Amino acid sequence: MRKMIVFALSRVRELDVVEADDGVDALRRIAGTKFDIIITDINMPILDGLKLVKRLRADENYKDVPIVIITTEGAAEDRQRALALGANAYITKPIQAQQVISLVREILTLD
């Protein structure tokens, strides 16, 4: 699923896509670099997506950067918790590539 999302977003010429293997790898890649949007899953090894969102919202550089969660966790409690922690959007799998592209374009106001 991650490879499909990366492939789909890499076709949007306004975007440079960077992929991370897990939450800790994401934090490493984010350190010292400014991203316009972050897409994560809840279920990741080492550092899950909710903890990643919490840490990013505590970081002055990322407190306002849009975060999208794409996950298999469809329970209302999971959605509420993610949004309460600061996620801007929450999409449950299965998803279509065009759905992700449209959401990213909307959030970043790309035409």
Domains and CATH numbers, the chain: 2-107 (3.40.50.2300)
Distance CA 25, CA 17 (A): 15
How high is the mean pLDDT of the chain? 94
CA dist., res. 2 & res. 79, Å (int): 20
pTM, to two decimals: 0.93
- What does the DSSP 8-state code read for residue 72? S
User: Which pLDDT value is given to residue 20?
Assistant: 95
pLDDT band per the 50, 70, 90 thresholds, residue 18? very high
Residue 1 binned pLDDT confidence (cut-offs 50, 70, 90): confident
Q: Express each pLDDT in 41-57 by its tens digit.
A: 999 999 999 999 999 99
Q: Which residue has the tokens 């065009």?
A: 98
